[in-house]
């Protein structure tokens, strides 16, 4: 027998109708535990592959910062939040007090983003900013779970045009972004196909980079 459907009309004049389905009781705690286990298992399985690349990425960023360069970060959706998160850790602090470090998220200025998307094409929302703000000696942190986001691909192209090096955070094999990277760039690719798991390791990778940058600039701390 098919599950019963019930419709609920919103309190705002009935403009939106929300259809709900009655389903058998679900063990939500079981599902949550499964997410925790999957995330933990992937982190442990991926550390040997990813740690050397994360270390290379941090070293590249540190060298750029010591040479008065800056880091531009970009991504879409959850990856946009990761770009902002990274810039906040650099300009503010990670876990230790230190001088401010120059990093800019290209995903935050709504006037720039909407103007470029409206007047040109969404695929150019980051590449135009890279050409405007980036230069030789700077680093682009390009974040895409699939590696195929058109706006990130264009940003990588623009960074290379400007003489910048790229740190790419991807998953699912790296996609088009992975194909564009040169030997001077760093590719941190999560060996997984599920977006949520990839994003979880992207955030962990960002925290590892921030810690490694601080350790390089301030010295190791137990």
- Spatial separation of the C-alpha atoms in residues 145 and 200, rounded to whole Å: 10
The pLDDT of residue 9 is 41
Task: List, for residues 9-56, the tens digit of each pLDDT value.
Answer: 444 545 555 455 566 667 899 999 999 999 999 999 999 999 999 999
Q: What percent of the chain has pLDDT over 90?
A: 86
The separation between CA 120 and the C-alpha centre of its own chain, rounded to angstroms, equals: 24
Q: At 129, give phi and psi (nearest 5°).
A: -70, -35
Looking at residue 11, its pLDDT comes to 45
Q: Which residue has the tokens 């970009």?
A: 74
pLDDT score at 192 = 98
Has residue 61 got a pLDDT over 50? Answer: yes
In tens, the pLDDT along 179-188 reads: 999 999 999 9
pLDDT tens profile 132-185: 999 999 999 999 999 999 999 999 999 999 999 999 999 999 999 999 999 999
pLDDT at 19: 54
pTM of the predicted model as reported, rounded to 2 decimal places: 0.89
Domains, the chain: 49-218 (3.40.50.10490)
- Please give the residue that has the higher pLDDT: either 13 or 220: 220
Q: Is the pLDDT at 7 greater than 50, yes or no?
A: no
d(CA 49, CA 216): 22
- Residue 220, pLDDT score: 84
């Amino acid at each position: 027998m098919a599950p019963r459907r019930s419709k609920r009309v919103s309190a705002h004049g009935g403009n939106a109708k929300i259809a709900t389905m009655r389903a058998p009781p679900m063990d939500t705690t079981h599902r949550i535990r499964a997410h925790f286990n999957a995330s933990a298992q992937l982190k442990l399985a991926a550390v040997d592959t990813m740690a050397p690349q994360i270390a290379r990425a941090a070293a590249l960023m540190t060298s750029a910062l010591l040479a008065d360069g800056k880091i531009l970060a970009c991504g879409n959706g959850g990856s946009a939040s990761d770009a902002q998160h990274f810039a906040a850790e650099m300009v503010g602090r990670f876990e230790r007090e230190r001088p401010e470090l120059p990093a800019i998220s290209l995903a935050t200025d709504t006037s720039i983003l909407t103007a470029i998307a409206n007047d040109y094409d969404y695929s150019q929302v980051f590449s135009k900013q890279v050409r405007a703000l980036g230069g030789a000696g700077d680093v682009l942190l390009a974040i895409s779970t699939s590696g195929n986001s058109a706006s990130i691909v264009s940003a990588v192209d623009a960074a290379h045009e400007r003489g910048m090096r790229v740190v790419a955070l991807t998953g699912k094999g790296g996609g088009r972004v992975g194909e564009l990277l040169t030997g001077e760039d760093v590719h941190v690719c999560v060996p997984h196909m599920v977006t949520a798991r990839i994003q979880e390791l992207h955030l962990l990778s960002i925290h590892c980079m921030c810690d490694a940058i601080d350790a390089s600039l301030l010295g190791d701390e137990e």
